Every structure is written in C-alpha cells, then in structure tokens.
Structure 1
Amino acid sequence: MMKSISFQNSHIIVYLIIFISCCGIYVSCDPNVSTATSAFKCLPDQSTALLEFKQEFSLQKPNFSYYYYHCFMYSNPFYDDSILPHSYPKMKFWKEGKDCCTWDGVACDMKTGQVVGLDLSYSWLQGPLRSNSSLFKLHQLQKVILPYNNFSFCHIPSEFGQLSRLTYLILSYSMFSGEVPSEISYLTNLLYLGLSSFKSYDDTSFLYLKRVDFTRFIRNMTNLRGLYLDQVNLSSSIPESLTNLSSLTFLQLSGCDLYGKFPEKIFQLPKLELIIVPCNHLLTGFLPQFHNLSSLTGLNLDMMNFSGKLPNSIGLLEYLKEFAIRLCNFMGPLPSSIWNLSNLNYLELSQNNFNSPDLPSTLGNLAKLVDLSLHSAQFSGEVPSSLGNLTQLKYFDISYNNLSFTKLNTISELPKFQTLVLGSCNLREFPSFLKTQDQLENLDLSSNRIEGQIPKWFWGIAKKKLEILDLSHNKFQGSLDSPPLLTSFFDISENKKTYLRVLDISKNQFSGTIPQWLGNFGSSLEILNLQGNNFHGNLPQMFRNGSMLNLKKLDLSDNQFQGKVPPFLITCRKLQVLNLGHNQISDTFPFWLQSMPELQVLVLRWNKFYGPIWNPHKFRGFESLRIMDLSFNNFSGRLPSEYFTNWVGMIQAPCGNKKTLIYMEDRYPFTYERASTIVTNKGVEMELDRILKTLTSIDLSNNRFDGEIPSSIDNLQALVVLNLSSNSFTGSIPPYLGNMSELESLDLSKNKLSGRIPQQLANLTFLEYLNLSQNQLTGPIPQGKQLNTFSSSSFAGNPGLCGSPLSRYCGNVDSPVVHHDKEVESEDGFTWKPVAVGYGFGIVVGFVIGHVILSQRRSNWFWRSFVGKFIYAAC
C-alpha cells in the first residue's frame, strides 16, 4: 500500500530552504554578488570556462526510477522524478556574447566579475563529470549545486578539493559511483555537504566513503550546518566528533550501513532540526531525555536497532512535525505526552514492542496529523471517537491490531481518508463507515474475515478516486457481478482518465463463470490474476478481437476452468506469463503459443492436456521462454533430437551480475505485480510470487513421454532446473548433461533409463539436487566432485547399480547385482510436496527464491545478503 507524501513534503520544504539559501539569498541579498539585472559583466575567461563546461554534456531529462530503493523512498522527498521542482535544462539558454552573470544558475561577484556560484540542480546534465572539466577553472566558486543530474556513474573528481572557497557542495542523486575522494575533506569552509546517492535492488551502494575519510570530514568541517550522505556506504560507526558540530541543523544518514552506538549527545545539539537516519539496522541506541529548548522538527529512526522506552519528555519537543520509529525495538507503554505533540503531521510507530492497552481519546489532540501509521503496534479496544478531530488525516494505517471499529460507524464526520489500511483487523463485515469516504485513493481490507458479497453501495464510492484496492484473503462469495473495480492497482493518466492496468482478485472464493465485463478494460489491462478461486466453465473469451493487446501476465490457475485454451490469446503479443495450472482444461498442446515473441513463463500443470508436444509442421521452438511446466498431464510421444534447438531464452544466461536480484517487470509495487508460479525444484513445490530473470526451468514430469532424451537439450546452457521424472524415457543418460554448467536440480527418476551413469555429471558444480532413482541403470556409480555429495536416495530403485553411496559392493561390474539393498530409502522420499507458499510474507518470498536454487558456491552470498536485507524485506 502506497504511503502519502506528508512526511516527504516537509523534506521538500527543507530542501527548498536549502536550495533557496544556496541559490536565491546569495543572488539577491549579497551586495558583492551580481544579479540578473547587474551592470557588471563577468570576466571573459569565466564565460569561456562556462561555455566549455556546457559542451561537456548533453541535455536529457534523467530517469531515476530503476534506482529507487526502499530506504531512498523513506529518506528523500523526491522519489518520483515527475515532481522534481524546476526541472529544465538551464544551460540550454547560455549563449555566447551575453553576460554570463545573467545566465540561469550562474552568480558572480559584483566587484571582481568572478563566478562564485553555480546552481545547475535538476538541469538534465547527461555525461561524465571528468577531472579535467572546465568547472575546476572557476577557482572562486563558493557554491556548487548539481543535484539530480546524470553523471553516468563516473567517480566524483578529486579536483573538488582544490575549490577551497566552497561553502556549499551539493552533488546528491546525480549518478556518481565509486569512492568519495578524500580530498573533499580539504574543504574546511563547507556549510552544506550533499553526496546522497542511490542503492540498487541488490542493496549495493553506488558511492562509498572510507571510514577514515568519514572521520576526517567531520573533524575538518567544523562549521557544517547540513550533512546529507543518504545511502552512501560508510560501513563505520558515527564519529563522536559529530557531537561537536554546534551549528549542525540537518543530518541525513539513511541507509549508510552504520553500526555501533548512536551518540546520544547528537540529540542535544542546540540547532539540530532534522535527524534522518533510517535503514541502519546495525546502529543501536536509546532516546535520551529531551528538553524544551530543542529545535527538532523531524526525527526518523525507521528500521534501526534502537530500543528501550520512549521517554515521557518527548512531549517537550513542541516543534516536532515528523516522528518515525518504524521497525525498531522500542517497548513498554507509549508515554501519554506523545499525544500532546500538537504540531505533528507525520507519526509512524509501526512494528515495535509497545504494550499500550488501547488508543486514548487524547489521540484527537493531534489535529494537524496528515499521516498516522500504527501497523502492528499491539493496540486493542475501541478506536476512539476523537479520531473525528483529525480533520486533516489522509493516510491511516491501523492494520494488524486488535481493535474494534464500531464507534466509527456512529461518528458523523470522519476524516476524509486518501489511504486507509485495515488489513488483519479481524473485520467480519464490510465497514459501513466507508459510505462517507468519497476521497479514498488506496484501501486495504486484506486478511480479514469479511464474508458475503461486496455491498453495491461501495462501488459508488470506489468509482470516484480509488486507485488501489486490496481485498485479498477474505471470504467473499457469490458471483462476481459487481462493477469492474475489483483490483489492487489503478493508474490515472495525465488527462484524468481512469483505466485499469492491474486486476488481482486472487485467493478468494468467487464462483460462477467469468463475467464478460472484464473485457471492458482489455485495451489497458496489463496484469490479470484470478488465481485461487472457484470459477468454472470454459476459459473466458474476453481476448476475442484483440481486445487485450497490452496484457503481460495472465494467471487463471487454481480454479475449475474447462474446455480448451482460447486461440484468441494469440493476439496478446506482449504476454510474458501464462499460468493455467490446476484446472480441468482438456486440450491438445497449443502450438500457436510459440509465435508469441515475449512469452517467458508457460504453466499448464495439473490439467487434462493430451497428445504430443511435437509436430514437425507446427513446431519452431520458443524464443523467449525461460520457465515451462507441463507436469501432471497426459502428454505423450517422443521428442526428436532437435526439439530444444531454437529455445533462445534458455541458451544463454542473462547478462549482468548474478548476485543482483532482478525480477520480471520490476515496475509495480511488490504487492501488486503478483503472477505467482509454482516450480518443482529439488523435489519440493514452491510458489513464487515474483520471478527472477535468472531462473530457467523445464518440468515435463508425470506425463507419458517416451523415447530418448533429446540431444539438443545440451543447447540450454542457462537451464537451472530440469525435471523429466515419471515418464517412460528410454536409452542412456546423455553425457552432454554434464556440459549444462548452470544446472542446480536434475530429476530423471521413475523412467526406463538404462546403462551407466555418465562421469560427466560430476562436472555440474552447482548441482544441489539429483534424483536418478527408479530406473534401470547399471554399473558403478561415478565418484568424485559433486556426485559424492548425494545420498543413496538419489540412486535407489536401480538394482544394477553398485558402489558408494549404496551399500552394494561393485565386484564384477559387468554382472549386475540383483539383490535388493535393505537400506534403500523408501519411495516417499521423492513424492512429498510441501508448498512454500509465502503469500503473506510479501517481498521476503522474492529474496528467498532468489536463490532457493543456490549451490554451495553461492550460499555464503545468499545468507549474507538475505540476513542483511531481512529488516527491509519485513517491511
């Protein structure tokens, strides 16, 4: 569920104050600095340097969306580049022959004509900022302000250290990478230092600062007023010398991998107004006793290892507007004084260990609240009627508490919520107080016990502004004949027209046939998820006449659909995921799916499909397919040797760092992009809410295929999971399987394979699961490398096999031993199917599957990354 931006709005004010002080005050108030109307011209060498600087870059509006990260969104106001203020290419209007002191973003000294200030924030600069840049010819610069440009991940030039007059150096969120140069510590006159950066989805910081340099920065820059190092990897404790910065006003160190103890004296710095240090989960600390002279207006400790009780003196922070301690370890009762902070507009207390019995009526004192989050705060009792006093409240999250909402039904005037989160609140009926909530944009009623049909009056409310609606994990029943707004994500285009892009009504108990009105949104629909209901009848014909041209993910699994796969799907040329698993579809193999250029995931498991999956006149291979699951059907016949020849998507692994968790369509919020897929890996069925681009899998198990395993399978060098079990494949195990270096799970059990096990399988260094049981294999089991790691269960049910790990000794290897091994494991070892569902664990599933498929070689990285991310994932 998306947050409101009230907390971020205050940061916008802070940033604008900074930039106004950086860009405006020194332009208009300093008598020694020229303005746009000044009669003083800048020196020719200064103009030349600026024009040379202009030629170093192209002008292109940056797109930061790929690099947004969880901590970034919590610590920085501009997580949506569409709201960046004053974003335009300032240098475009610099013209030779005109006084450079009149150029946009340029400030000059009125007496000398030297350029002393350069503000090119949000100015579309594209390209590297090099060490020989003409910028460093401007030796009199006092203020360099370059945030929100794209410097192409170049290093920050050490030459900044030569600009000794600098008082402002703001380079935040401008696509720098690498080590922050130690030479910046030479800038002892700095008042504001902004080097904040991005993190990628694998929690990698693009910028890092050595511990010794961090300490040196703090020690040398004694006049600092603003320090902004969000998501710069510091990997250190906070220097105690930070408490000596008596002028420090703004401190932002979110997601910096800080550890150790947070110095309590920082809270007592006399001028400090803003402390934003979330997402440093190894940083411990306590909140001290506060005094009434504190200047604090914002305090964000989200996802930190702070603990203890909140001091009652917190009520003395009369200027406090934002207070966030989400996912910390605070305990005990909430101090009553917290409800006296009448200037609060953002209060986030979620997921701590408070034991307050109920919400007091004094909650109504916080009349300026815009954003209130009490998720999992262990409150009980009634929601007080004084909630009606919070007339400005827009975001209200009270999910996962044990509260009753009956009073809300009697309050005549509730706040007009924009976002309301009531997930896991033990609701048994649809809340009637929603009748007055005509401003709702986001509503979460998931994981309650609401039964029956959705009331018809609700759709009158929902039609107005609702963008996000989550009704999952309830007990809705009856036919789905309401207006087509059962969705968990909406989008509103710039022309104010509402159109449906994501429709997710999965895991309810809706029944009947699919209503035809679903087809009304075909032209805009991108994700359709009806998984886990009781729909029946033939598959919907809503794809007729090319009405769903933009559909990317279609999940109709776990229903009672019958009939055939509708051929109209061929018009969905952008389809990436098709999951029809666990239905009663009776059809031959839909060969026309091969012509779909972007199809990456095809799941037909547990249906009544029959016949061959090969036809020499209809088969050309799948170009983009990476996951294919045809298991538990009645497919039959032989697969020719060239069957896998054109499967380009599995021939070569995706480029890039394999440690980076890149998922299909990382576009929507995690909650809203579900198109779950079940993969049988290492003998275990797992439901994947999100699909890694590095996961490739073929599952043809539990069918009636025969003949030899196709030799062209050797082409699939990116294949991670191969399951051909419970068929009638014959011949020997192909030795070329040993060339498939990415293979981590191989199941050939319950076939009619004969001959010896090829020694080449020992070359599969990532192989974690091997099952060759219940075949007709003979001879000694190859020894060495990876094959020595498997137990006897991997080879059981092959009377002709001998050697370790079986107890049958290999005497004359040409004479198969026919007696049965008493210690052979039972067949049950290969048929159990626990399902790691993980639906309720949200993004945690994404990290767990990113690699449930890990080998010993990768496991150290997995545990380091997973444990390090858990505190983020739990959000």
Structure 2
Amino acid sequence: MISFFQLSSHQQLCHKDEYLALMQFKDSFVIERQASTCPKVDLWKSQGVDCCSWEGIWCDQNTSHVIGVDLSSSCLFGFINSSSSLFRLGHLQYLNLALNDFNFSKIPFAVGNLSRLTYLNLSGSFFSGQIPHEISKLSNLAKLDISFNLDYSNQGLLEIKKLDLNSLALNLTKLEWLDLSFVGINSPISKALANMSSLTYLHFGQCGLFGKFPTDIFQLPKLQVLDLDNNWELSGSFPEFDSHNQLSVLDVRNTTFSGELPISIGMLRSLEYLDVSSCSFSGLVPPSVGNLTKLQVLILANNSFVGEKVPFFSNLTQLIQIDLSLNHFTFNEVPSSFASLTHLMWINLYGNQITGHFPSWITNLTNLRYLSLALNMLQGSLPRSISRLKNLEIFDVGYNNLSGIVEFDTFLELKFLKDLGLSFNNFSLVIKTTTNGTIPKFEMLGLASCKLREFPNFLRNQSELNVLHLALNNIQGQIPGWILNMSASLWLLDLSHNNFTSVEESFLVFPSISLLILDLSFNFLKGSLPIPPLSILSYIVPGNMFSGEIPSQFCKMTSLLMLDLSHNNLSGMMLQCFGNLSTMLVLNLEGNNFHGPILETWESENKLKVIRMGQNNLQGKLPRSLGNCKMLEFLDLGNNKIRDTFPSWLGALPKLRILILRSNRLYVDFFARWNAMIDLDGENATYLQAYNHHIMVNHLVIPYLYPYSMTITNKGKKMEYAKILEVFSAMDLSCNKFEGEISEVIGNLKRLQLLNLSNNVLIGPIPTNLGYLTNLEALDLSQNKLTGRIPTQLTQLNFLEVFNVSHNHLMGPIPKGQQFDTFENSSFDGNSGLCGMPLSRKCDYYNPEDLPPTYSTSKGNEDSRLLAGWKLVLLGYGCGFLISIVIGNIVFTKKHEWFMKTFRIRQRRRQGVVCKRLNRRK
C-alpha cells in the first residue's frame, strides 16, 4: 500500500484539468468555520497555482498527476453527487473525505470509476442511504472505511442491501482494513470473509448482524483487530487459538457470544485489548489469561463468570484497565494480586459477591482514576488513606456493608474527583457545616442512606452537578428552593424516603432547567403538586400528602415516560390528556380520591405498559379504547365503583400479564373470548418491569427502573411486593358479582399458584378439572353458592397448603388424604351438608346415592383452547380473607426461602394502615 505522506517532491506543475477539477470541487461547498480552523481547502489559493503543493493534495513525482486527496476534517458542508468534479481525478489512489458534513447525501456511484483507489475513507460525514454496488468494483482497495455516518440521534444512516458482504469478500481480495461500524447490514456474516487472507482490521460495530459468527474468521493469519460490538443478536463462541494468531484487539461486547473462555486464549501473546462484556460467557476465567503479558485492557463485565481466586492477574503488569463487574465472583477479599499492577488506572469490581475489608494496599495505586467496589459485601471501615489517590476521578463503594464514621473531609483532598458513590452502607457520613478545604466540583453524588439529618449546605456551590441521590436519610423540614438553582445541568434528583414536610415556594414551579428525573416519593409533603419542567421524563411522588387537582400543565409534558402520583390525597377528575401522551410508559394514579369516569380516549399509538388507577372513586364503564393499549402489561382498576360486564375484549391485548379488577361491580360470565396471558417460558423468567433505564455518568452506571409491584393484605397489614417474578401466577376475581358456574377453562391454567374466586354469586358444582392445577398452593371458593360434593380429584394437588370453601351449599364427605388431612375446620364452615374430618359431623347417616353427581369436564372443550397455558392472571388481593392465610402460612412459614427469592418484600413505609374489611357491594 502506498504511503502518500512520504512522496518526494515533484518536478513539474500539476495538470491544469486536475487543478480546475479541485477548484471546482472546493467551490461547490460552504466552508464552515467554527471553533476549529480548516486550513486545507481554505489556503489553496494562497499556496499558488501548483495544486501538487496544496495542503491535503499529493501528486506522483514522475507524472504530476494527483494521486492523493486528504480533505478530512476540512469543514466541508454541502451536497455531493456523481457529477462532482472530484470524480474526474482518474489517477486517484487515496481519497479521504472523513469528518465533514455532506448533508445526508448518498455516496455517489461514480466512486466506482476511481479504479486505482487503494484507500477510501468516507467515515463520519453524514452520508446516508444505500451504499452503491459500484464500491465492490474497486478491486485494488486495501482500506475501506464507511463507518460512523450517524444522524443527530446517533442512529446509523447507511445500509448495505444492494452491496452485500459476500460481494465485498469476493471482489475486494486485497482488502486489509474494513470498517463498516453503524452500517445497517442486518444479515448474518458471510463465510466468504474467512477467505480474505490480507485482512488485518475488521470492525462491524452495531451493524444489526445476527446468526452465528464463523469461527474461521478468528483464524485469519494477519488479523490484528476484530471488533463486533453491539450486535445484540450475533451469537458464537471462541475457537481454539494457536500461537500464530496475531490478534491485538478482540471486542465482542454486547453480543450473545457464549461458552467458556478457552484455555488456548493464553496463546494470544499479542493481545492488548479484550472486551467480552454483556455477553453470555460463563465458567472460570482460565489461568492462561496470565500469559497475556501485553494486555492493557481486560473487560469481562456482565457475564456469568465464577471463581474464588484470580492469582494469575499479578502477571499482567501492563494492565491499565480491569473490569470484572456484574459477574458471580466470590472472592473473600479484593484480589491482592492487583497490588503489583502499578499502571492500573481503572478497577471495576461492581456487582459481585466480594467479602472482606476495603483493601489498604489499594491506596498505593496512585495512578487510579476509576475505582468501583459497589454492590458487594465489604465490611469494616473506609480508611482515610483514600486521600492518597490524588488522581481519582470516580469512586464508588455504594451498596456494601461498610460501617463506622466517614468524614466527608476525606474526599476534599481529591481535587479531580467528579463522581462519589457512598450510598447504602451502614456508616454515618459526617459533613461539617463549614469546610476549610476546596470542595471538588462533583458531577454525581450518591449519598443515599448515609444517616444524614440535614440538607448538605455545600451543595449550594455545586454548579456542575448532574445527579444527586439523597434518598433514605433522615432529612427533615423544608426542601430548599436553592437546590433548583445550584446547577443548570442537574438532570436527576432523588430525595425520596426522607422526612420532608414541605417545599419552598420557589420549588413549586420549576425554572427552565435540564431536570429529567425527579423522585420525591415517601415523604410527608403537603400542598399542591410541584410543576416540573416540561422536558421531564420521570416524575415520581407517591406516598406523600399532596392534595388538590392535577395541574393542566402536565398535558404539555410531551416527553414524559413515567408518572407516579399514587397514594396521595389528590382529587378531582383525571386529565383526559393522559391517554394522548404518546411517549408515556407508566401511569400510576392509584390510592387517591379521583372521581368520575376512567379516561375515555386512549390513542392507538400509545406505548403504555402500566396503568394503575385502583383505590379511587372512579365510576361508569370501562372505556373500549383501552383496547388500543397494545403494549399494556399491567392494568389495575381495582377498588373503584366500576359497573360493567367483564371486559373480555381486553383478552385481545397481546402482552397483558397482570390484571387487577378486584372489588368493583363487574358481572356476567368472565371467561368468554379471552386470549391474553398465554403461557411464557418459565425457565427464562425475569422480574416484570415497565421501565429499565441505565444512566451513565463518566462510565458510572446508575440503574433506574420501575418494577411491577402489588400489595397483599397479610393478617390485617398491607404488605408491598416490590418485585413480581414472571413465573408467579395468581388469579383473584373476588368481590365482584360474577354469576353462573365456574368455567372449566380454569382447569387449563396450569401455572396457577393462587386462585381466589371468593365473594361472588357462583353456583353449581366445583369442576373436577381443578385437579389439573398441579402447581396450586391456595384455593379460595368461599362466600358463593356452590353446590354438590368436593371433588376427590383435588387431593391430587400436592402443593395445596390452604383451602377454603366456607359459606357455600356443599354436601357430602370431605375428601381424605394428601393435603386435605391438614386443613382446619374454618376451611369448611357454613356448609351444613358437609361431613367428615376435620368437622365433628360424621358421615354415617349420609346416603351417597342421594347426593348429586360429581361434576366432570372435558379437556378437549373448545373454550379450553382460549386460555391454554395462562402465564399470569393477578386480579387483586384484599377482599377475601384467605389470601392473608396463604401468605402467612405458606410463604412466610413453610416456603420462606422460595418466597424471598421470588419477591423482595418490604412493609409500606409509614403506611402501616390496618386493612379494612371490604363490604360486599352486591
């Protein structure tokens, strides 16, 4: 490949036609002079008539033909097409137009006429559309870079449909460098790439690749750089490497590569950069990694690696960055083998199971700029010797068990410190009212649960703060208005779970600042709702005492993703505009005093995943436009005054998982035409959540999510379940006016664990196919008008811990054996015709022939196909008393470990309201 920067001076002037072509090309663009200077094109006239002497132009020393044009970063703005004079330079071998602004022009097909090109760089210049097939005709190309042509939202502008990878691989056989980052390839990788033996650099970042990556490409004899990052559907695994491999950079982050790191990875003796983060790798990190003595960056984050020791890291003396975060390492201390790695600038061990104390030796690594040991199990105190890390910019030890007293003055000596994370430990943070030292200008401060009693006064002068977490402290009194003026850049403010009682008047209407996320939840705030800036994304204020109506300004918040006003004293009618906010994901208004109809108009293009309006005074019918909410997963309208037929039309919502309609006035047969909530794969279940956003501040990840939750009445107290695992299944249709017989369709809901049909007007026998619900742990059919016998098939329910059929018209002997031998008298009260254990009434005088026959159902019934394999139906807790027994007896007592893994429980803070016994509204 020709090095155009080492050409000797020419002997004659450049050719006139090439001179004119270059000048015409220059004149077709506007030169955007901004902060940077653009000397190349701007100085051509002052550099004389010999274009071979112009900056950015190279000529052949013998013929004086222009063979090289480098106009990268020349501030060119305008359109370019195939009629451009540039393509008259038929001798061009080198063309670099990177980092200009060609205003979304298409790459001209005339580039294919420059048949002598060996170097073509069109990166970062706002080219758009299809890459022309003519590029594959440039058979002499050694370097092709069309990367990073992005729009203003960082989305790729180019696609490669007409020109496929197979054509490139077959025609560009001399290619050494190929960079197509952010080009929309959207196909599997062509196996023909494995035949491109000259390749040294291959970069396919964020190209939409999918399928399995051919392992032969790893074995290309000259390949030094292989970067496949951010192709989330691209799978593969690492091959067995050999000592001839020349890879120096290997990056497969954010793909679905899986398996274990092979022991032969230690053969990559030239490797300097290895990033396999956010993949599906597992197993031990092989000790052979210690052979990679040239390694400078090692990123294994967010996989399933395990291990208790990593002594081989002491061999990696060139390491600058090591990231083992979000794995399953169980070190009994921060690995002391790091102590000898004196070049380290970055250590990230976030989110493992590391125990022991904060290591004292770490303060000897004076080159450290980033240190995160957050979300581990470290104990003991935080040493003052941290102040020796003079170059530290980011320090995070949040979410550990550190204790003692931490003086904020310790961090005042770290002049470069930008991000400080101390949240959720067991220490007390002492911040002196006056400080003698100069306080660093922070960008992120995590001071949640640090036992603070007053608002830190030093924040007044923090003019560069982006993120402030002060949640779960004991700060009382008024939220000061000056907090909104302390930083024009503040975009996340979390003051939740404190003891604030009011807000300063200037806080009620936010100035025009950059705030995106505001969380004031679970304080004692009164008065009107503060009005956030119209650009707000997330507004969270549940568990306060705000009153009055929702201000109409909320209708103008067109970027709003999440609105949670639940459990306040708000009143009036709901703003109808909420159904028209197309960006909204979560709308939670439950537990207030809203009245009138439910929002009547829901736009068909909405993105809502959560609608919660329970525990209000809403009336009328369910609006049919709710059927437009195609993304809806969680709908809670329980504990209102809705009078309507059962909304079987909601069964058309394809993603509906949780439906709460408890304690309304719904009636008629409730399972007709229901297709929603089809079974999901329980093996890969995760927690249900509507919003999962990771905020990045200087590489520090702040998780901010909105998990689904529910409340259950447990022995007179309300408990909140902050997480719902997908595999949990429950159905509670209690406290309505459902009539008729129990539908046999229920027998097909195989994953059900809780079933509550109490407090309705159900008649007829108990279906025998309830015996098919083999996962059932609790069954409540109480307070109905059921007749006939208790089916003996229910004794097959081996997990059934609680059973209640009290206050019906059942007759005959109670089945014996299995779980039925454990139920108490109260399970059968109010059925004068029942006999046998545990009741004192014996069955001797009953004639079985006088009893009605046991009701049976057919598994092949047409209705059963409508609901086969329901995944999750949760229609409320709190009307029937059985659910309290279920949670108290089954989950807490007998299955405590299972329950704690399935749900994260906490009693509603300061909301210890005794659950009211609901009156039947029949």
1:88–1:836 Cα change, 3 Å: same
User: 1:47 aligns to what?
Assistant: 19
User: 1:513 aligns to what?
Assistant: 454
User: 1:370 aligns to what?
Assistant: 320
By relative contact order (CA 8 Å, sep 6+), the higher-ranking structure is: 1
The separation in 2 between residues aligned to 1:333 and 1:209, in whole angstroms, is 39
Deviation per CA, 1:231-253: give whole Å up to 9, x if none.
32333343333333332222222
Displacement of 1:128 after TM fit?
Answer: 3.2
The separation in 2 between residues aligned to 1:806 and 1:270, in whole angstroms, is 64
Q: How does 1:470-549 map to 2 (within 5 A)?
A: 470-477=421-428, 479-481=430-432, 500=441, 502-521=443-462, 523-540=463-480, 542-543=482-483
SS in 1 for 2:67: strand
Displacement of 1:187 after TM fit?
Answer: 0.5
In the alignment, structure 1 residue 179 sits paired with structure 2 residue 130:
yes
Equivalent AA in structure 1 for residue 177 of structure 2: G
1:199–1:715 Cα change, 3 Å: closer
1:836–1:312 Cα change, 3 Å: closer
Aligned length: 683
The separation in 2 between residues aligned to 1:837 and 1:766, in whole angstroms, is 13
The separation in 2 between residues aligned to 1:164 and 1:124, in whole angstroms, is 27
User: 1:679 aligns to what?
Assistant: none
1:317–1:536 Cα change, 3 Å: same
Do the aligned partners of 2:257 and 2:280 also contact (CA within 8 Å) in 1?
yes
User: 2:755 aligns to what?
Assistant: none
Do the aligned partners of 2:178 and 2:203 also contact (CA within 8 Å) in 1?
yes
Do the aligned partners of 2:538 and 2:561 also contact (CA within 8 Å) in 1?
no
User: 1:580 aligns to what?
Assistant: 520
Do the aligned partners of 2:157 and 2:183 also contact (CA within 8 Å) in 1?
yes
Displacement of 1:786 after TM fit?
Answer: 8.1
Equivalent AA in structure 1 for residue 403 of structure 2: E
Equivalent AA in structure 1 for residue 42 of structure 2: K
Displacement of 1:778 after TM fit?
Answer: 5.9
1:845–1:211 Cα change, 3 Å: farther
The separation in 1 between residues aligned to 2:263 and 2:595, in whole angstroms, is 76
Displacement of 1:161 after TM fit?
Answer: 1.1
User: 2:4 aligns to what?
Assistant: 26
Equivalent AA in structure 2 for residue 48 of structure 1: L
1:472–1:122 Cα change, 3 Å: farther
Displacement of 1:482 after TM fit?
Answer: 7.7
In the alignment, structure 1 residue 338 sits paired with structure 2 residue 316:
no
Displacement of 1:743 after TM fit?
Answer: 8.3
Displacement of 1:722 after TM fit?
Answer: 6.1
Deviates more, 1:257-266 or 1:439-448: 257-266
2:42 to 63, 80, 92: 92
User: 2:187 aligns to what?
Assistant: 236
1:252 to 184, 187, 203: 203
The separation in 1 between residues aligned to 2:354 and 2:592, in whole angstroms, is 54
1:55–1:753 Cα change, 3 Å: same
The separation in 2 between residues aligned to 1:316 and 1:299, in whole angstroms, is 13
Equivalent AA in structure 2 for residue 649 of structure 1: M
The separation in 1 between residues aligned to 2:290 and 2:653, in whole angstroms, is 64
1:343–1:713 Cα change, 3 Å: closer
Equivalent AA in structure 2 for residue 422 of structure 1: L
- TM superposition score normalised by structure 2: 0.64
1:793–1:585 Cα change, 3 Å: closer
In the alignment, structure 1 residue 695 sits paired with structure 2 residue 573:
no
SS in 2 for 1:193: strand
In the alignment, structure 1 residue 608 sits paired with structure 2 residue 516:
no
The separation in 1 between residues aligned to 2:351 and 2:142, in whole angstroms, is 44
The separation in 2 between residues aligned to 1:374 and 1:792, in whole angstroms, is 36
Displacement of 1:192 after TM fit?
Answer: 0.8
Do the aligned partners of 1:258 and 1:283 also contact (CA within 8 Å) in 2?
no
Q: How does 1:448-459 map to 2 (within 5 A)?
A: 448-455=400-407, 458-459=410-411
Task: Mark the structure with the bigger radius of gyration.
Answer: 2
User: 1:58 aligns to what?
Assistant: 30
The separation in 2 between residues aligned to 1:326 and 1:717, in whole angstroms, is 34
User: 1:390 aligns to what?
Assistant: 341
Equivalent AA in structure 2 for residue 472 of structure 1: S
In the alignment, structure 1 residue 589 sits paired with structure 2 residue 528:
yes
User: 2:571 aligns to what?
Assistant: 705
1:156 to 83, 107, 113: 107
Equivalent AA in structure 1 for residue 456 of structure 2: P
Equivalent AA in structure 2 for residue 536 of structure 1: Q
Same amino acid, percent of matched pairs: 31
The separation in 1 between residues aligned to 2:353 and 2:218, in whole angstroms, is 34
SS in 2 for 1:424: coil
1:199–1:474 Cα change, 3 Å: farther
Q: How does 1:819-830 map to 2 (within 5 A)?
A: none
Equivalent AA in structure 1 for residue 601 of structure 2: L
Do the aligned partners of 1:259 and 1:284 also contact (CA within 8 Å) in 2?
no
Do the aligned partners of 2:520 and 2:540 also contact (CA within 8 Å) in 1?
yes
Deviation per CA, 1:36-94: give whole Å up to 9, x if none.
xx4522222212222222233333489xxxxxxxxxxxxxxxxxxx9xxx984522222
Displacement of 1:565 after TM fit?
Answer: 3.1
1:406–1:599 Cα change, 3 Å: closer
The separation in 1 between residues aligned to 2:183 and 2:176, in whole angstroms, is 19
Displacement of 1:140 after TM fit?
Answer: 1.6
Do the aligned partners of 1:390 and 1:415 also contact (CA within 8 Å) in 2?
no
The separation in 1 between residues aligned to 2:86 and 2:690, in whole angstroms, is 56
Q: How does 1:753-832 map to 2 (within 5 A)?
A: 805=670
SS in 1 for 2:217: helix
Deviation per CA, 1:648-697: give whole Å up to 9, x if none.
335xxxxxxxxxxxxxxxxxxxxxxxxxxxxxxxxxxxxxxxxxx35375
Deviation per CA, 1:210-239: give whole Å up to 9, x if none.
387211111111111111122323333433
In the alignment, structure 1 residue 103 sits paired with structure 2 residue 43:
no
Equivalent AA in structure 2 for residue 556 of structure 1: L
Do the aligned partners of 1:518 and 1:542 also contact (CA within 8 Å) in 2?
no
SS in 2 for 1:52: helix
Do the aligned partners of 2:420 and 2:445 also contact (CA within 8 Å) in 1?
no
Equivalent AA in structure 1 for residue 199 of structure 2: L
Deviates more, 1:598-607 or 1:280-289: 598-607
Do the aligned partners of 1:385 and 1:407 also contact (CA within 8 Å) in 2?
no
The separation in 2 between residues aligned to 1:271 and 1:542, in whole angstroms, is 60
Give 5+ residue unaligned stretches, structure 1.
1-20, 63-81, 487-496, 626-646, 651-692, 808-832, 853-875
The separation in 1 between residues aligned to 2:376 and 2:88, in whole angstroms, is 63
Displacement of 1:723 after TM fit?
Answer: 6.1
Deviation per CA, 1:548-567: give whole Å up to 9, x if none.
56655543222101244343
Equivalent AA in structure 1 for residue 469 of structure 2: N
Deviates more, 1:157-166 or 1:749-758: 749-758
Displacement of 1:190 after TM fit?
Answer: 0.6
- TM superposition score normalised by structure 1: 0.67
Q: How does 1:139-288 map to 2 (within 5 A)?
A: 139-197=90-148, 205-210=156-161, 213-281=164-232, 282-288=234-240
SS in 1 for 2:443: strand
1:715–1:382 Cα change, 3 Å: closer
Give 5+ residue unaligned stretches, structure 2.
673-686, 696-700, 709-723, 725-922
Please state which structure has a larger fraction of its residues in helix: 1
Displacement of 1:345 after TM fit?
Answer: 2.0
The separation in 1 between residues aligned to 2:691 and 2:580, in whole angstroms, is 32
The separation in 1 between residues aligned to 2:80 and 2:578, in whole angstroms, is 48
Equivalent AA in structure 2 for residue 188 of structure 1: S
User: 1:631 aligns to what?
Assistant: none
